[in-house]
Amino acid sequence: MSTIERAEVLITSPGRNFITLKITTSDGVTGLGDATLNGRELSVVAYLREHIAPLLIGRDPHLIEDTWQYLYRGAYWRRGPVTMAAIAAVDVALWDILGKVTGQPVHQLLGGASRTGALAYGHASGSDTPSLFTSIRNHLDQGFRAIRVQTAVPGLGQVYGVATNQKPGQRYDYEPAKRAALPVEEGWDGRAYLRHIPTVFAAVREEFGPDLTLLHDAHHRLSPNEAAILGKSLEPYDLFWLEDCTPGENQETLRRVRSQTTTPLAIGEVFNSVYDYQTLITEQLIDYVRSAVAHAGGISALKKIIDFAAIYQIKSGFHGATDISPVGQAAALHLDLAIHNFGIQEYMKHSEATLEVFKTSYTFKNGFLHPGTTPGLGVEYDEDLAARFDYMPAYLPVNRLQLDGSVHDW
Ligand code: CS2
Ligand code: MG
């Protein structure tokens, strides 16, 4: 019987920081897991190196569920972003190993493909309407069939999701975590945003027609009532979803939003446990589960969340921003292909430097992602190249109300 022989935490920063767990068995088989927690990366490194790696040595790598429970219940201190990112990395690495040992792609181990590909959405943004249109056209040219729209808001400075204006054919490049000793501070005005966003979607529908699948991320910034106002004002533009319309910690607040609008709601990228969804799912207050494999306890845990959601006809919309490493993205794609209640997959293309360190076998064609059929996850990690990119502290912005400087949700 093979055993776990090594558990190494690999750090690299080709343009942005990534943390990867590499588990090696006594048979020399390796598995990779994404442990990247944007702006708090080193906390997961310490959790893995100091507390988890020593516990894995000598264990049977194929006891995936037992290892999950051992790390979750055995920690005594459960849940939370750091713990669940660490457990996720172990879980995904063990699925990678099982795939390699059995010669199967991970989606086959999860029950096989339920579709030919995973519909993906890309990010378009602009500081004004013409540059937004250029960004949307760039994505249509790349084959995207679904596009998330974010824009600047008149009267506000930098807001979430607005990259530098793209030129025709230019890659969308937006990294919210800035390399600096302290977080940058952004200003917010909810009323200015609520006035502006419906006019943006009116212009986009006018220009691109009724068929294009459109999404928007309110990024946790609105009160429940503001979220209801926005949801209602966007109804004429037939969005695929309005994301993170209000912070979801108090799940009951979504009752207020749900009772006021039919705009589909997606929540969950900052959630890391099925309990974060309990009321949202059982009361059908959302339509899409947004968690990432890398932040919600791995493939084993996110599969349980999405199976639970299926009972309430709620679908997946897994987080796939560039702070989810190619390992985390590949893990999401295997789950996307296997589950029944698939909705859509976020896809922000990683930089070339990142894709040189992480060699991936997933593909994007005609708007659909596919994890490939390579045994395991289908991602290789170039350790020599990765070692050339030192970790650099980077922080996500802090948001303050423009009116009086109060801290607000970013
Ligand atoms: C965002 C993310 O992609 C999204 O939906 O909410 O870009 C998010 O801001 C980052 O992942 C934070 O690290
Ligand atoms: Mg989001």
C-alpha 374/C-alpha 348 separation (Å) is 22
Cβ of 34 closer than 6 Å to ligand 1, yes or no, is: no
pLDDT mean over 243-253: 97
User: Would you place residue 254 in the very low, low, confident or very high pLDDT band (cuts 50, 70, 90)?
Assistant: very high
Nearest CA to ligand 1 atom 12: 38
With beta carbons less than 8 A apart as the criterion, state whether 2 and 377 touch: no
Q: For residue 177, how far is its CA from the centre of ligand 1 (angstroms)?
A: 10
β-pairing, 118-126 vs 368-370, is antiparallel
Spatial CB neighbours of 193, under 8 Å, sequence gap ≥ 6: 153, 156, 159, 221, 222
3-state secondary structure of 296: coil
Q: What is the pLDDT of residue 45?
A: 98
Q: What is the pLDDT of residue 60?
A: 98
Q: What is the pLDDT of residue 284?
A: 98
Q: What is the pLDDT of residue 168?
A: 82
pLDDT (tens digit per residue) in 61-91: 999 999 999 999 999 999 999 999 999 999 9
Atom of ligand 1 nearest to the CA of 346: 3
Cβ of 176 closer than 6 Å to ligand 1, yes or no, is: yes
pLDDT (tens digit per residue) in 100-113: 999 999 999 999 99
Backbone conformation region of residue 221, classed left if phi is above 0, alpha if psi is from -120 to 50, else beta: alpha
Structure tokens at 194: 């609520």
Three-state secondary structure of 39-100: CCHHHHHHHHHHHHHHHHCCCCCCCHHHHHHHHHHCCCCCCCHHHHHHHHHHHHHHHHHHHH
Nearest CA to ligand 1 atom 6: 219
The phi, psi pair for 231, rounded to 5°, reads -55, -45
Q: What is the pLDDT of residue 216?
A: 98
Is 219 an annotated catalytic residue? yes
Mean pLDDT of the chain: 97
User: Would you place residue 170 in the very low, low, confident or very high pLDDT band (cuts 50, 70, 90)?
Assistant: confident
DSSP labels, 204-231? HHHHH-S-SEEEEE-TT-S-HHHHHHHH
Nearest CA to ligand 1 atom 8: 321
Q: What is the pLDDT of residue 165?
A: 81
Q: Which residues sit with Cβ closer than 5 angstroms to ligand 2, an ion?
A: 217, 269
pLDDT (tens digit per residue) in 385-401: 999 999 999 999 999 99
Measured over the CA atoms of residue 324, residue 328, residue 333 and residue 335, the dihedral's sign is negative
pLDDT mean over 326-347: 98
pLDDT mean over 221-242: 98
Residue 169: pLDDT over 80: no
Percent of the chain predicted with pLDDT > 70? 100
Probe target for ligand 1 pocket from 34, 221, 323, 398, with the most ligand atoms within 8 Å of CB: 323
User: Would you place residue 329 in the very low, low, confident or very high pLDDT band (cuts 50, 70, 90)?
Assistant: very high
With beta carbons less than 8 A apart as the criterion, state whether 127 and 139 touch: no
Q: What is the pLDDT of residue 299?
A: 98
The neighbouring-strand residues paired with 151 are 126
pLDDT (tens digit per residue) in 99-151: 999 999 999 999 999 999 999 999 999 999 999 999 999 999 999 999 999 99
Q: What is the pLDDT of residue 102?
A: 98
Q: What is the pLDDT of residue 171?
A: 76
